[in-house]
Structure 1
Amino acid sequence: MTTLILGRVLAFPSDPFTTPPQDAAVLHEAVAVADGRIAGTGALDAMRARFPDAEEVDHGDALILPGFVDAHMHYPQTEIIASWGKRLIDWLNTYTFPAEARFHDPTHAAEVANRSLTLALAHGTTSLCSYCTIHPESVDAWFAAAGARNMAVWGGKTCMDRNAPDDLRDTAQTAHDQSAALLARWHGTGRGRYVITPRFSPTSTPEQLAALGALWAEHPDCLMQTHLSEQTDEIAWVRDLFSQARDYLDTYEAHGLLGERGLYGHAIHLEQRERDRLAETGAAVVHCPTSNTFIGSGLFDMGLARRMRVGLATDTGGGSSFSMLRTMAAAYEIAQLRGEALHPAKLLWLATEGSARALHAADRIGTLAEGSDADLVVLDLASTPAIAQRSHHAADIWEAVFPTIMMGDDRAVAAVYVAGQRVPR
């Protein structure tokens, strides 16, 4: 059975960072879904003629987009989101590590994984890339919860063998072996993909980084995710720990952890060599704007999007919102502080295809291209009185959607579809 989903369907044939933003998108009147995939987009009469027996679901003048893609988050930190008063290293010691220590319990891990995905879907996010904890149980819970919802997700065991509490440390060998076993179990199971996951250089010895670099070399189709240059005191710490390294990125590069399928979260305080090497290798950086402001990290340079893949992410729970709308708003505000007003097309693209490209998954998610998985979010562009009165006076689609980007929350999410199936509210 084919379903025609009607509304203002916004597709991006071009990258708005390389094409004039207003020319990068096109509006359609319907998107066709069949067997969990996009079967086409176009004018309503043409789509009805093409799919004469299709069932129709009419969302009126709501905006229909690919489901949001969150390229960097920590589902085990769901319960500690919006915790007060810490910067990165204190945040880890005060909030993160005590919370993550509980994930040896499969029941607790399953409960939080399910809650995290429920919250994500309520905010229109249909795909996420998450750090788990050192516990294999946390990885099993994440992929099982996503599999029950048929969601496309990424995740991996977070590896740490120093500068962490004793109950959150593994070793170079166990990091490699457990990651390899989890990769064999979950990579390609359903819509799940495994990600090799050293937390960051300060919590991994050179031996552990090398072991995970070797694992990545054995499985080059996997992604690898870690953190890079989030805060200045973190960078100083890395210099002390790796005195022979040229810079922070070199601590990964020297151990086989720099490559095209690498995801480097934050990447705020980059040196020129680091920028050049990330661009040369085709690696992706992931912008986490609500986290960067909430824990005082700094202002990301969106100019990097002209040189390399850039994803967008909530960074739950260092990030202060589960909403990719709020995340887009924060990205806009940070760019303003750096002298650039990001066009709404760029913000929406970052939260969909941009993040999908960072995950090397734009052939599956983040777009409305024919054959892509039918993950969709439907936005009410008049979800609150304040938003409605502004969008009512909009001269074009960008003026209509921008108030929802800046002021919207889960109330703006009118419907969500995962693999063509509407998610119950």
Structure 2
Amino acid sequence: MNGTEPVQSAARLALRADLLDFRGDPGWSPEPGTAVRFRPDHWLLVEQGRIVGTLPGEEPPGDDWLRLDRRGRLLMPGFIDTHVHAPQLDVIASFGTQLLEWLETYTFPAEQRYADPGVAAEGAARFCDALVAHGTTSAVVFPTVHRASAEALLAAAHERGMRLIAGKVLMDRHAPPALTDTVDSAERDSRELIARWHGAGRLAYAMTVRFAPTSTPAQMAMAGRLMREVPDLYMQTHVAENRAEVAWVAELFPQARSYLDVYHGFGLLTPRAVLAHGIWLDDADRALLAHTGAHIAHCPTSNLFLGSGLLDWRRLEAQGASVSMATDVGGGTSLSMQRTLAEAYKVQALQGVRLPAWKALYTATLGAARCLHLDGEIGSLEPGRVADVCVWDWASGPVDSHRLSLGRQLHEKVFAWMTLSDERHLVEAYVAGHRRCARPQPPQPTG
């Protein structure tokens, strides 16, 4: 999408819209409370790529600001996707399998193509642009086992100024030969990638164990050793997604108390560990998450699409564990965080729980930033935060326009927007104050 105004922002940018963000966890009530911050018709002030303040709409900043009037639209922090696979755009919406068969039939063949640096570079650019076009400005991402794939993904995100956490996938068994590494090659590649990319711009490196069945104990021990050497590394993997997978892990690691305990035994559970799914956990597992500070990336569209199961979110939180939100494309069915949140509502509803819009949106913005220890940088509209922000249409057609016109309370309006909107509602997305995606805008109001 190309805008009618310059893609690169001015040094001082002011956006006028309805501002929505969070000060803290709003909990499970539809009442807004003090954690929800809604400021209708305000200017968001951005200087040198960071948020510096707000002003009421009728009090515009001076003429030395580039003022963009988006009255009647919604402005929020960019979404944070905590688990997504860059190469799996190639297999999104693939028919008819559960997890393990899905990997063999669709995922592994698609990922083998990313050994080609040209394919990897093209795919990384497409993926990063697609994220932003869906209103997601930060993400925790799997490339493939190939170093070229990780290099391409990190380079593409760096070029766009994005906050991205990623790392070469580790797989030294139970995968096609074209997708396997060794303990030594994985360590060599990981060390070189960490030296080049960890902390470069807005990038961070994650030790990326695909899942316990595809890494030998020696490889997971190597990953744990690197995490001890570089304490601010992240770790990303999958856990307890599917019952057959859980049974397989129990056969492979009979000494471990549980699937989650496998990772704990190798020192992989830290406050910077992101574990996708976490459906088939028990109380001891949930307590272990709380103890280690590792958190679960909830992937509702993927869990429903692959028939994996329903996340018991309330029980996780009751035992002190944290949850963020993730699309898990390509097991998931859309990069749209709104579609993902709408499915999360259904997952909870099937268990007799109602997920308010506040809790859902918090989990995809400030809540995710807190889980990643990045809330000083992203996730809210607080002064000092990087200006990763998106402007949305409240409605884009007659159905949602009519529905929103009938909204009586703020939560009703926001919940309807969350449920009915998707990437087609995105007006523009800014990454560090630079506009990276936009629809053409009508002429600015005068006077």
| Fold-level similarity (TM above 0.5) | yes
CA shift in 2, pair 1:337/1:19, >3 Å: closer
For the pair 1:14 / 2:24, whether they are aligned, the reply is: yes
Q: Tell me the equivalent position of 2:109.
A: 98
CA shift in 2, pair 1:147/1:208, >3 Å: same
Q: Tell me the equivalent position of 2:204.
A: 193
Deviating beyond 3 angstroms after TM superposition, the runs of 4 or more aligned structure 1 residues are 18-21
For the pair 1:163 / 2:174, whether they are aligned, the reply is: yes
Deviation at 1:18, TM superposition (A): 7.9
Further displaced range: 407-416 or 236-245 = 407-416
AA at the equivalent of 2:23: P
Q: Tell me the equivalent position of 1:261.
A: 272
Q: Tell me the equivalent position of 1:4.
A: 14
For the pair 1:243 / 2:285, whether they are aligned, the reply is: no
Structure 2 Cα separation of the partners of residues 67 and 54 of structure 1:
22
Contact 2:30 2:356 in 1 (8 A): no
Task: Map residues 76-87 of structure 1 onto 2, 5 A cutoff.
Answer: 76-87=87-98
Q: Tell me the equivalent position of 1:234.
A: 245
1:320-342 Cα distance to aligned partner (Å, 9 max, x none): 11100100101111111111111
Contact 1:309 1:357 in 2 (8 A): no
Deviation at 1:305, TM superposition (A): 3.6
Task: Map residues 40-55 of structure 1 onto 2, 5 A cutoff.
Answer: 40-45=53-58, 48=60, 53-55=64-66
Structure 1 Cα separation of the partners of residues 233 and 31 of structure 2:
32
Further displaced range: 261-270 or 354-363 = 354-363
TM-score (norm 2): 0.92
Deviation at 1:256, TM superposition (A): 1.1
Deviation at 1:220, TM superposition (A): 1.1
Q: Tell me the equivalent position of 2:327.
A: 314
Structure 2 Cα separation of the partners of residues 166 and 9 of structure 1:
50
Q: Tell me the equivalent position of 2:442.
A: none
Contact 2:30 2:358 in 1 (8 A): no
AA at the equivalent of 2:87: P
Contact 1:17 1:305 in 2 (8 A): no
1:146-196 Cα distance to aligned partner (Å, 9 max, x none): 122111111111101111011111112222221111111111111111111
Structure 1 Cα separation of the partners of residues 84 and 341 of structure 2:
15
3-state secondary structure, aligned to 2:193: helix
- Bigger proportion of residues as helix: 1
1:209-238 Cα distance to aligned partner (Å, 9 max, x none): 101110111111011011110011100000
Q: Tell me the equivalent position of 1:333.
A: 346
Structure 2 Cα separation of the partners of residues 249 and 60 of structure 1:
48
Q: Tell me the equivalent position of 1:139.
A: 150
Task: Map residues 25-424 of structure 1 onto 2, 5 A cutoff.
Answer: 25-28=36-39, 29-45=42-58, 48=60, 53-303=64-314, 304-306=316-318, 307-424=320-437
Contact 2:143 2:167 in 1 (8 A): yes
**Equivalent residues, number:** 423
3-state secondary structure, aligned to 1:423: strand
- Percent identity between matched residues is 45
CA shift in 2, pair 1:10/1:313, >3 Å: same
1:258-304 Cα distance to aligned partner (Å, 9 max, x none): 11111111001101111001001111110000000000111011212
AA at the equivalent of 2:361: L
CA shift in 2, pair 1:146/1:2, >3 Å: same
3-state secondary structure, aligned to 1:257: coil
Structure 2 Cα separation of the partners of residues 128 and 384 of structure 1:
29
CA shift in 2, pair 1:159/1:243, >3 Å: same
What residue ranges of structure 2 are gaps of 5+ in the alignment? 1-10, 439-447
Structure 2 Cα separation of the partners of residues 116 and 246 of structure 1:
38
TM-score (norm 1): 0.96
1:347-392 Cα distance to aligned partner (Å, 9 max, x none): 1111111222222211111111111110011111111221111001
3-state secondary structure, aligned to 1:82: coil
AA at the equivalent of 1:158: V
Structure 2 Cα separation of the partners of residues 182 and 21 of structure 1:
46
Structure 2 Cα separation of the partners of residues 226 and 424 of structure 1:
30
What residue ranges of structure 1 are gaps of 5+ in the alignment? none
Structure 1 Cα separation of the partners of residues 418 and 326 of structure 2:
15
Contact 2:17 2:71 in 1 (8 A): yes
RMSD: 1.5
3-state secondary structure, aligned to 2:32: helix
3-state secondary structure, aligned to 1:270: coil
Further displaced range: 113-122 or 61-70 = 113-122
Structure 1 Cα separation of the partners of residues 304 and 437 of structure 2:
33
Structure 2 Cα separation of the partners of residues 400 and 271 of structure 1:
37
AA at the equivalent of 2:25: D
